[in-house]
Amino acid sequence: MSAPTEVSRVDRFFGVTERGSTVLRECRGGVVTFFTMAYIVVLNPIILGGTPGNPLNADIHGNVLPMTAVAAVTALVAGVMCIVFGVVANYPFAFAAGLGINSLLAVSVTTQVTWPQAMGLVVLNGVIIVVLAVTGFRTAVFNAVPAELKAAITAGIGAFIAFIGFVNAGFVQRVPDAAHTNVPVQLGDSGSISTYPVLVFAVGLLIMGVLTVRKVAGGLLIGIVITTVLAIVIEAVVDPATWALNTPKLPESIGGLPDLSLLGNVDLFGAFTEHGTASNVIAAPAIGATILLFTIVLSNFFDAMGTMTGLGKEAGLADENGTLPGIGKALAVEGTGAIAGGLGSASSNTVFVESASGIAEGARTGLANIVTGALFLAAMFFTPLYQVVPLEAVAPALVVVGALMIGQIRTIDFTRFDYALPAFLTIVAMPFTYSIANGIGLGFITWVVLAVARGKVREIHPILWAVAAVFVVYFARSPLQELLT
């Protein structure tokens, strides 16, 4: 007799029934979200980690982060932040190490500072984000965005995550430099589907599409399972050349204690006071560190804002202006993801667009996040088990969800060019530049410029002026850094 009582308490706490969901649907959505973003536990160590002597991921002193340790803290911080956000903010927006900032750290920041100093900048970025949220500034920016741009952000994120799915599966590939062509990408290998992994993706996409059309409950999860089984069979029978990240083989072992040695390996202010040893390090550490911090903050600030806008609208949780109830609290908690990620040496943790896959399964509350978080915590101990699922099996879910999200484009009045151009640039820039923040920035700047051109200066919210100006500085940060150093 106690089980129904417990279920009802969970229902009341998260408002599951109130939001038109069920506990089972929330759990299913949380599982789907985990499987569509579990790749981060494998990918983040590849981006941040390395082995001694590996110049690609070494910091300015030649030091690297152990890959096994990065995998462990990636899962730990993601699990904790998913649960915290689910309980406090009560939205089905899962957290993990953001791909934009971790790449920025590996490619740019650590050419000038050490890994502990880079993580110190991530922590400071989180503190700034939290302060901006607590003071209400971040919420004010969120609410100042015109409804048309919010719809464009949602559609752009849909295009972005679909593109991520295509690229992760190898369905879309970069044209080799040896080809000497201006065409940047192509279909599969030499313009055709010529490998089994890409075929698995294509079959999985059709399966998930059919299940979605038929409105099968748990369609995306069922599709991931079916596609994974297909991949395992193909790997066992024909032994294809290369899968993206995970090879679909049953693991020899499924458990082990995680390596959490990177926790707390942070130098909070060292980047502002110490010179590095590389020849390309800037002359004034304080100025250089400030510019690096500004870049991290701006990327973190608008990536999360844009993602929450898109996910909130897709889940039907936003009002007619695209505003989420309690967004201030949600943004404040999101900022702590950067602090937690920096302290854990996992890079800034933020809301993941892949959460849209769980939302497509019906997730509407933070209960789904609890499930996703619990699976991330379990992943610390069962890494080989989730590595059975190849990216080619989860990538179709991203494409299906992208198709659903881009439907928000219907609310934009494209007969007005002052709406059409900012919306168009917002949508296409996200996949083309592989950045949500870049799309938002181009949309903001163009919106302000065209409003001025129409003589509607008084209709431009002061915050839009300020944000557009900040993005101008953001896009010109490289020449400005050279000018100041």
Most confident of 286-300, 344-358, 390-404: 344-358
Instruction: Identify the pLDDT of residue 82.
Output: 97
Alpha carbon 45 to chain centroid distance?
Answer: 16
Helix and strand counts by DSSP (H, E) for the chain = 20, 6
What is the tens place of the pLDDT at every residue in 306-336?
Answer: 788 889 988 899 887 777 888 889 989 999 9
* Among 260, 451, 287, 275, CA closest to 343: 260
Give yes or no for residue 341 having a pLDDT over 50: yes
Residue 342's pLDDT band (cuts 50, 70, 90): very high
Q: Are strands 349-351 and 95-97 parallel, antiparallel or unpaired?
A: antiparallel
Residue 280's pLDDT band (cuts 50, 70, 90): very low
* Among 14, 109, 101, CA closest to 337: 101
CA angle 477, 482, 485 (to 5 degrees): 115
Residue-range domain boundaries for the chain: 14-250+272-412
176: buried, middle or exposed (CB in 10 Å: 19+, 13-18, 0-12)?
A: exposed
Q: DSSP secondary-structure letter at 218?
A: T
**Length of the chain in residues, anyone?**
485
User: Using CA atoms, how far apart are residues 93 and 157, in angstroms rounded to an integer?
Assistant: 14
What DSSP string describes 43-87?
HHHHHHEE-TT-SSS--TTS--EEHHHHHHHHHHHHHHHHHHHHH
User: Using CA atoms, how far apart are residues 322 and 226, in angstroms rounded to an integer?
Assistant: 36
Instruction: Identify the pLDDT of residue 348.
Output: 93
**pTM of the predicted structure, to 2 decimals:** 0.74
Residue 283's pLDDT band (cuts 50, 70, 90): very low
* Among 164, 130, 107, 174, CA closest to 435: 164
Instruction: Identify the pLDDT of residue 100.
Output: 67
* Among 11, 12, 13, 75, CA closest to 374: 75
List beta partners, residue 174.
185
The two tokens of residue 112 are 């000038």
Average pLDDT over residues 53-69: 80
Q: DSSP secondary-structure letter at 39?
A: T
Give yes or no for residue 282 having a pLDDT over 50: no
Q: How many CA atoms lie within 13 A of 105 on its CB side?
A: 34
Give the N- to C-terminal CA distance of the chain in Å, as an integer: 70
